[in-house]
Amino acid sequence: MTKTLLLKGIDEPDLHTLEVYERGGGYQALRKALGMSREEVLHELEVSAIRGRGGAGFAMGKKISFLPKGQMDKYLVCNADESEPGTFKDRELLQKNPHMLIEGMLIAAYAGGITRAFIYIRGEYALQADRLEAALEEAKAAGYVGERVLGSDLSLTMWVHRGAGAYICGEETALLDSLEGKRGNPRLKPPFPANQGLYQGPTLINNVETLATAPTIIRMGGAEYAKLGTTGSTGTKLVSISGHVQRPGNYEIELGIPSREIIYGLAGGPPEGRSVKLWFPGGSSAPVLTGDDLDIPYDFDSLAKAGTMLGSGAIIVVDDSTPVVDVALKVAKFYRHESCGKCTPCREGTNWTVKMLERIDSGEATPMDLDIMAAVCTNIIGNCLCVLGDAMAMPIGSMIVKFRPEFEAHIEAARARNELATTEEAPPEALIQGAVA
């Protein structure tokens, strides 16, 4: 059930300092890796079969192996723009154990023959960025980051870059544009970052948790690490549980345990007398599951088979005290606000969906609007430039399918309420320049 690799000793005072980190065996994995050849390190990462912890679940070792070989400027970018609603696992790692990330990045850079690294951290993580910058300075002073690390042939320069507050900048190509100083809009793929990423150079982009796991893999050995979890989902995973549970927080679990054990076992389940109505298994972008789905094993493949995804490993639990329309509206508004506006289906579809949900909530809708909303979600899915549009359409679409009777009841109740109302508030004056809804 729980197994602590990443969160081991996480609450030790001052673990974020080099001294405490080294005392607990910090940077030993780096020394071990530097004693191996680059190919051996890459091999260990590949054998570990660790899948990316940011959301897409792509095998990390394979990603590194896509980088072109040979001498050139290659980049490593750590995606620390943790913005997915319900996700706060990276925050804990960044805040409490930044050196583990730096060590992991050094190992990944060594495996990929990379010489320049960036950590793109979301602007709201001010404390975490401060800690990270301080840790980076310590690591530089100690000779872990810089020219010829520990006398090896690894040379790595590393920067911490703070984002300016946009969810879309967590999308890897938008992140690269933002890092280059442009408007954070996703790029067309292909070319993929491994070929043409940052400044048109080959680029490896990984999530904080993925990179922070690298020292563990090197320490244990890839094969040993792969024994944890299931065949398709090896290792442990940090899970952020929030919503209607008694003990919200970050938990490290071995992949493949039943979801019930996480929600009820670790997080204590919903408050007394309530039951799980729906839950997002992997952040607000994941199609929702219901209380009937609690026995699905929590791993990449089982969740995909259930029509949803593990995503960033953020479980949001909603109990029966909350109307599903409220959840849908909250989710849709978030994605409308964060849509970059570059591609048509996402820009217009998220906006339209919010407007329809608002009508449902204000009693101006009919059940036919549910069909339109479902069709709009279908029209978004798969037709967008990046996955942000899908990230709204998938959960909303799944809610309409799984909770249609409740939506219909909501429409009727709101309409009845609306008809009783005698006065109507005037809409706000249109603002010039900026658009008004």
Partner 1 sequence: MPRPEQRMVTFSIDGLEVTAPENAMLVDAAKYGDVEIPVFCYEPKLGAPVGACRMCLVEIEGIPKLQTGCSTPVKDGMVVHTQTDRVKQAQEAIVEFLLINHPLDCPVCDKGGECPLQDISFGWGGGRSRFIEPKRHFQKPLALSPLVAIDRERCILCYRCVRFSQEIAEDYQLVLEERGAHTYVSTFDGHPYVAPFSGNIVELCPVGALTSQPYRFRARPWDIEGSGSVCTLCPAQCNVTFTVRDERVLRVLGRDNVEVDDGWLCDKGRFAYQAVHVDERVTQPLIRDGGELREVSWERALSEAAAALRRANGRVGAIAGGETTNEEGFLLQRLMREGLGSGDLDSRPGGTLALDLHRALGAPDLQATVADLEFAHSVLVLDCEPVDDMPIVDLRIRKGVRRRHVKLAVATSRPSSLDPNASATARFAPGAGEAFVMALSAALGGGDVAGPAQAAGADAAEIRALGRSLQAGDDVVILYGEQLVSGPRGEHAARALLDLARRLELTSGREGAGLLCVPAGTNGRGLTEAGVLPNAGPGLADVEQSGRDTAAIAAAASAGELTALYLMHCDPLVDLPGRDAWAGALERATTVVAHAAFLTDGVREHANVVFPAESYAEKEGTLTHPDGRVQRLRPAIGHPGATRSEWSVIADLARRLDLDLGVLTGAMASAQLFAAVPFYAGLTLEAIGGKGVRWQEREAAATFPAAEPEAADGAEPPSAADANGRLRLGTFRSIWNATEVRVSPALRFLHPKLRLEISPADAQRLELFQGDHVVVGSDGHTVDATVTLRETMPEGSVFLETNALDGPLVEVRRA
Residue 110 and residue 102: Cα distance in Å, rounded? 12
* Smaller CB separation from partner 1, 149 or 391: 391
* Smaller CB separation from partner 1, 312 or 351: 351
- DSSP conformational letter for 430: P
* Smaller CB separation from partner 1, 264 or 352: 352
Residue 424 and residue 427: Cα distance in Å, rounded? 9
CB of 68 to partner 1, least distance (A): 19
CB of 339 to partner 1, least distance (A): 4
Binding residues for partner 1 (CB under 8 A): 166, 168, 183, 188, 336-345, 347-352, 355-356, 359, 372, 375, 379, 382-385, 430, 432-437
* Beta pairing, strands 116-121 & 249-254: unpaired
CB of 58 to partner 1, least distance (A): 16
Contacts of 253 (CB under 8 A, 6+ apart): 1, 2, 3, 236, 237, 239, 261, 262, 266, 298
* Smaller CB separation from partner 1, 320 or 348: 348
CA 175 to chain centre: 13
CB of 285 to partner 1, least distance (A): 16
Q: Where are the beta strands (DSSP E) in 313-404?
A: 314-319
What kind and span of H or E run contains 360? helix 344-362
* Smaller CB separation from partner 1, 173 or 308: 173
Kindly report the CA angle at 239 between 234 and 245, in degrees rounded to 5? 140
* Smaller CB separation from partner 1, 420 or 436: 436
* Smaller CB separation from partner 1, 71 or 433: 433
- DSSP conformational letter for 261: I
CB of 368 to partner 1, least distance (A): 9
* Smaller CB separation from partner 1, 420 or 432: 432
Greatest CA separation for the chain = 79
Strand partners, 318: 278
Q: Using N-to-C axis directions, what is the helix angle for 324-338 and 344-362, rounded to 10°? A: 150
CB of 252 to partner 1, least distance (A): 34
Strand partners, 279: 289, 317
- Tokens (6 digits) for 407: 């939506």
CB of 372 to partner 1, least distance (A): 5
Q: How far is CA 25 from CA 4, 58, 341, in A?
A: 15, 29, 47
CB of 135 to partner 1, least distance (A): 33
